[in-house]
Amino acid sequence: MLGWYKLTLLISHRAVFALAMMINTGAFASQFDHNHALWDKLLQAYVVDKGDFSQVKYQGLKQSGGATLDQYLLSISAVQSTQFEQWTKPQQLVFLINAYNAFTVKLILDHYPVESIKDIGSFFRSPWKIQFFTLFGDKVHLDHIEHELIRGHFKEPRIHFAVVCASIGCPKLQARAYTAERLEAMLESATRTFLRDGSRNRYDAQRDTLYLSSIFKWYAEDFVLKSGSVEQFVAAYISDDPQVRQQIQLRQVDVKYMDYDWALNDAHI
């Protein structure tokens, strides 16, 4: 009986060691859920879709969904770069979009209640420069995901309507997680929805003036690279009227950029 006990104990120790090796080598992370089910569950439960915009029930999420969010973010941080590189491009982009949005929500929850994401951080370091999470083994910040990983490797201007900054002025946080299968449809929908929200983008025919979100000023180079000009990109989404589209495409309109509303997109529910 004693020999059997020692054998069982040895097997148990080896099982623990094997599990540790799986985690350390990334084999455990190879089971990453490309459906992003945990994040999708949270979005459906705590995002209030208002059509042109959305709000987040941050208080409820902090009280009841924080553990699930942490679990999802742990799965994000467990992914190694060698594993990421083996995925398809849509899977990679979806991973980075969801990671950015989920870590942004985490940043808000860590400081909630707060009136604006810009209240987080300090005069010397913006909230987007705070290194508060791990990605591919490195301690990084939100700007690293957006500017170095997404903008640096994907020439896709529509991501500016997918990655969001927890503010009223930014595009809405979708009530569903991005997935590779839904990526194209969601990017198109997010872009069209944002550009047709008159509070943030609109064409005034009487004044021949195009009023645009400051996003188009801050990231003009991305839209120029894709479409030749900001106007060319905007024209394809802002209206179904062919005459309006043509006038904007031919740059026969004045362009004015509107102030950005940095107030928190809090549902207060």
Q: Given a cut of 50, is residue 1 above it in pLDDT?
A: no
74 against 12, higher pLDDT: 74
Mean pLDDT for the stretch of residues 108-127? 93
Q: Over the stretch 175-184, which tens digit does the pLDDT of each residue have?
A: 999 999 999 9
Q: Given a cut of 90, is residue 60 above it in pLDDT?
A: yes
Q: What pLDDT is stored for residue 3 in this prediction?
A: 55
> Given CA atoms 133, 134, 140, 142 in this order, what sign does their dihedral have?
negative
Domain residue extents for the chain: 31-195, 202-257
* Nearest C-alpha neighbor of 81 from the set 140, 1, 14, 159: 140
pLDDT band at 150 (very low <50, low <70, confident <90, very high): very high
Q: Given a cut of 50, is residue 155 above it in pLDDT?
A: yes
Q: DSSP state, 45?
A: H
- Which range (102-111, 116-125, 161-170) has the least confidence? 116-125
- Say how far apart CA 146 and CA 211 lie, in whole Å: 25
Mean pLDDT for the stretch of residues 200-229? 97
pLDDT band at 30 (very low <50, low <70, confident <90, very high): low
Q: What pLDDT is stored for residue 268 in this prediction?
A: 82
* Mean of the per-residue pLDDT values of the chain: 91
* Inter-residue contact 142 to 127 (CB < 8 Å): yes
* Nearest C-alpha neighbor of 81 from the set 95, 66, 65: 95
- Say how far apart CA 62 and CA 227 lie, in whole Å: 41
* Nearest C-alpha neighbor of 201 from the set 229, 233, 234: 234
- Say how far apart CA 220 and CA 234 lie, in whole Å: 11
Q: Is 162 exposed, middle or buried (0-12, 13-18, 19+ CB in 10 A)?
A: buried
Q: Over the stretch 220-246, which tens digit does the pLDDT of each residue have?
A: 999 999 999 999 999 999 999 999 999
Q: Are strands 133-135 and 138-140 parallel, antiparallel or unpaired?
A: antiparallel
Mean pLDDT for the stretch of residues 98-119? 98
Any residues with CB less than 8 A from the CB of 170 and at least 6 apart, and which? Answer: 164, 215, 260, 265
> Distance between terminal CA atoms of the chain?
61
- Say how far apart CA 50 and CA 30 lie, in whole Å: 36
pLDDT band at 122 (very low <50, low <70, confident <90, very high): confident
